[in-house]
Amino acid sequence: MPWAPIDLPSLALGILKRSIDEGVPGAHADVLHANIDYVDWITEQRDDFSLADYEYYSLASYFLGCGDWVFSSALYDDDTWRVAEFADAMGGKIGARRLETTVELHASATAFIRNIAERIVAAEPDVVGFTSTFQQNTAALAAAKYVKRLNPAIKTVMGGANCDGKQGEAVHRNFPFVDYVVRGEGEESFPALVAALRDGSDLDAVTGLCRRDAGGGSHANPMSTRPLPPAAILPPDYTGYFERLAASAAHAWVEPKLVVEGARGCWWGEKHHCTFCGLNGSFMQFRSKSPTVFFEEIVGLAARHRVLDMYVVDNILDMGYVKSLLPRIIDSGYDLRLHYEIKANMRSGQLQTLADAGLIYVQPGIESLSSKVLGLMDKGVTGCQNVRMLRDGAAAGLSVAWNYLHGFPGEEAADYDGITCQLPALEHLNPPVDQSARIAIERFSPYFNNPGMGFSDLRPAEPYRITYDLPEAEMFDLAYVFDVPPRGVGDDVVRRLNDALTAWKGAFATSRLTHCDLGDRIVLVSRRRGFDWRTLELTDPVDVALFRLLDQPHTLVAAARKLREEHPGSDAGTIETTLSRWRELGLVFADGGQYVHVAPPAVNEELLRLDHMRRTEAEDAAETEPALQSTGV
């Protein structure tokens, strides 16, 4: 259902389709891409609806809940459902035009849901299943309600991330038109449910299933205590998606990508669960497919669908893949373009392997540049290591996507102001995707599970309260995101940080800092708005050695000790003076007693930036226009 991304087929439904087609004799599953159907439907209703609008409701407005609120009108059979409450809640958070559009979509949502339900019923299925992740809940619930209204004999099932654990129980308790809820990993339980419905057998054995007893009451089978082994994680069947997209108005909006999965869980989270992270839900245990199996899956999907862009949904890269899977991809000859989530402390050689294998986009989970705040998150990296990641990612030609977060119990203004004043030195490196955001408390995170960590007064986030007509206790079980009294730094600190981040984003396209190591000297070239020097040579042997040493983060004491081994005359006082001068020149980043230099090697990395050609053309046009005017052209 909307608001699933339209440029990606559903991995969940692709896996479940295969699990039914291959695992339940006599059964067959078809996938209905109602998200793409919605694009065609809404663009016929209004000519001003664009890809930017769809992506706003699909992703950008997640923490505001705009996408789910749109379909609440259909869920509650009221095209004016809580319009006033929504307008009051969104006041100052979204613009007047966006508010107007959202209310208009809300008023028309029932007509679309009715259309989809009629099509589903006309296909005469025995079972219709809805997957719900992010802002799909109300659309899925509303469609299930209309399907049951049109044909009560059809069995309705919901599953997905919004149905994990207690959330699934709450869905089943509160919405009687949902016959079953599948909680947890569905490759085994959903086919088992379908087979049991076909045979009329007992449903008690279907792990994690929510079902109704003879009296209509909701009953939840125990969830599995053991996650699926990697060999049981099926490859997806994307039959029909690319054909449906090609026939849609949406085909002019997006380039389709494949979605692939090599692993589930998080190997870092098994040891140190990041305090704010609710990903992985009920199963944190890390499992990854064998490199051979995953490689064959990747190239098989690419060959079948003639698509080379791939989004890897793994929460974290299996580090074993760096020496097993990735070299096979490099040698395969496939010019893949991959998006992958990685750990921020990967070394430059490993990052280059990623780039060579086609990992154009990486998301290293940076979240902050302050070592103290990163410690509060239990991230297992330092601020200097995160800056090194940005620097080495630029050298490898990787586009590094990351977020800045604040609002952690125990943080202080100095943890931010000490970083903010250094951000102009980093403007040649990938900025965060947006301004710093106060952390949301997510279900399954340590902050949610352990009130003693600083967040004890939790309420379902405001979007749930203006969307659902449920008692607060039921909304608490349904919700994934929670409102809490703010912790950590105040608005004045955040404002200074966000001003600097905004300036960084604005300056990134035209900023540059590189170094070239010529053996006896190091030449640096800078083009950053906060520094008036353009070229600089390091010729002193101690300076050259120190700069090379700061390729990796070092404390002053460690750097001085290592330099004395090569240059006995060097001393900590002189080195500290040099580091202070380099910080003023924007050559090093300092945090938590560590230093790291911020200048990537000069490897034409400007050409590797995704926006380089567009920016170059714009600059050429700007330079050419006056010349044309002067010649009368």
Q: What is the DSSP string of 110-134?
A: HHHHHHHHHHHHHT--SEEEEE--S
CA distance 574 to 567: 12
DSSP 344: T
Residues in the chain: 633
Give residue 30's region: left, alpha or beta (phi > 0; psi -120 to 50): beta
CA distance 576 to 567: 15
Give me the pLDDT at residue 301, please.
Answer: 97
Claim to verify: residue 292 and residue 351 sit in the same structural domain? yes
- Among 223, 245, 279, the domain boundary falls at 223
Claim to verify: residue 281 and residue 148 sit in the same structural domain? no
Q: Estimate to the nearest angstrom the gap between the alpha carbon of 227 and the chain centroid.
A: 23
Confidence band, pLDDT 50/70/90 cuts, at residue 625: very low
DSSP 603: S
Claim to verify: residue 82 and residue 129 sit in the same structural domain? yes
For the chain, what is the domain count? 3
Give me the pLDDT at residue 26, please.
Answer: 94
Query: What value does the mean pLDDT take over residues 597-601?
Result: 97
- Domain-located, residue 406: yes
- 604 burial class (0-12, 13-18, 19+ CB within 10 angstroms)? exposed
- Say how many Å lie between the first and final Cα of the chain, rounded: 54
Q: Is the pLDDT of residue 621 over 90?
A: no
Min mean pLDDT across 319-328, 335-344, 441-450, 624-633 is at 624-633
Q: Is the pLDDT of residue 467 over 90?
A: yes
Confidence band, pLDDT 50/70/90 cuts, at residue 551: very high
Residue found by looking up tokens 């996507």 in the block: 401
Give me the pLDDT at residue 486, please.
Answer: 94
Give me the pLDDT at residue 355, please.
Answer: 96
Neighbours of 62 (CB within 10 A): 18
- Among 485, 509, 533, the domain boundary falls at 509
Q: At what angle do helices 413-420 and 491-507 cross, to 10 degrees?
A: 20
- pLDDT tens digit sequence for 564-577: 999 988 889 999 99
Q: Is the pLDDT of residue 613 over 50?
A: no
Residues 6+ apart with CB under 8 A from 549: 559, 562, 563
Query: What value does the mean pLDDT take over residues 471-483?
Result: 97
Q: Estimate to the nearest angstrom the gap between the alpha carbon of 138 and the chain centroid.
A: 22
CA distance 44 to 26: 39
Query: What value does the mean pLDDT take over residues 546-574?
Result: 94
Spatial contact of 242 and 258, defined as CB atoms under 8 Å apart: no
CA distance 26 to 230: 26
Query: Vertex 428, ends 422 and 433: CA angle to 5°?
Result: 85
DSSP 228: P
Query: H or E element: which one contains 34?
Result: helix 34-45
Claim to verify: residue 196 and residue 50 sit in the same structural domain? yes
Higher pLDDT, 483 or 612: 483
Spatial contact of 365 and 402, defined as CB atoms under 8 Å apart: yes
CATH of the domain at 491: 3.80.30.20
Claim to verify: residue 491 and residue 565 sit in the same structural domain? no
> Residue 240 — φ and ψ, nearest 5°?
100, -25
CA distance 415 to 404: 13
CA distance 609 to 615: 10
CA distance 212 to 181: 10
Give me the pLDDT at residue 569, please.
Answer: 82
DSSP 526: E
Confidence band, pLDDT 50/70/90 cuts, at residue 633: very low
The CA-based dihedral angle spanning residues 19, 22, 25, 28, taken in that order and rounded to the nearest 10 degrees = 70
- Domain-located, residue 228: no
- Domain-located, residue 478: yes
- SS3 readout for 149-173: HHCCCCEEEEECHHHCCHHHHHHHH
Claim to verify: residue 502 and residue 521 sit in the same structural domain? no
Claim to verify: residue 398 and residue 478 sit in the same structural domain? yes
Claim to verify: residue 303 and residue 419 sit in the same structural domain? yes
CA distance 170 to 355: 44
Claim to verify: residue 120 and residue 26 sit in the same structural domain? yes
Q: At what angle do helices 572-584 and 541-549 cross, to 10 degrees?
A: 70
Spatial contact of 466 and 85, defined as CB atoms under 8 Å apart: yes
Confidence band, pLDDT 50/70/90 cuts, at residue 281: confident
- Among 509, 534, 565, the domain boundary falls at 509
Higher pLDDT, 615 or 268: 268
Give me the pLDDT at residue 603, please.
Answer: 83
516-523 contacts, C-beta under 8 A, 24 or more apart: 516/601, 516/602, 517/548, 517/601, 520/544, 522/547, 522/548
DSSP 292: H
- Domain-located, residue 267: yes
- Exposure string (b/e) for 250-263, b if CB count within 10 Å is 16 or more? bbebbebbbbbbbb
Confidence band, pLDDT 50/70/90 cuts, at residue 214: confident
Q: Is the pLDDT of residue 283 over 90?
A: no
| Structural domain containing residue 409 | 257-509
Confidence band, pLDDT 50/70/90 cuts, at residue 624: very low
Claim to verify: residue 552 and residue 428 sit in the same structural domain? no
- Domain-located, residue 164: yes
Q: Is the pLDDT of residue 608 over 60?
A: no
- Domain-located, residue 526: yes
Claim to verify: residue 548 and residue 453 sit in the same structural domain? no
- Domain-located, residue 618: no
Give me the pLDDT at residue 607, please.
Answer: 55
Alpha helices in 421-571 (DSSP H): 446-449, 462-465, 472-478, 491-507, 541-549, 556-566
Residues 6+ apart with CB under 8 A from 547: 515, 522, 538, 587, 597
Query: What value does the mean pLDDT take over residues 100-129?
Result: 98
The CA-based dihedral angle spanning residues 271, 375, 276, 89, taken in that order and rounded to the nearest 10 degrees = 180
- pLDDT tens digit sequence for 55-101: 999 999 999 999 999 999 999 999 999 999 999 999 889 999 999 99
- pLDDT tens digit sequence for 417-457: 999 999 999 999 999 999 999 999 999 999 999 999 999 99
The CA-based dihedral angle spanning residues 66, 72, 74, 75, taken in that order and rounded to the nearest 10 degrees = 150
- 243 burial class (0-12, 13-18, 19+ CB within 10 angstroms)? exposed
Spatial contact of 557 and 572, defined as CB atoms under 8 Å apart: yes
- Domain-located, residue 316: yes
Claim to verify: residue 474 and residue 559 sit in the same structural domain? no
DSSP string covering 487-524: -SS-HHHHHHHHHHHHHHHHHGGG-EEEEEE-SS-EEE
Q: Is the pLDDT of residue 609 over 70?
A: no
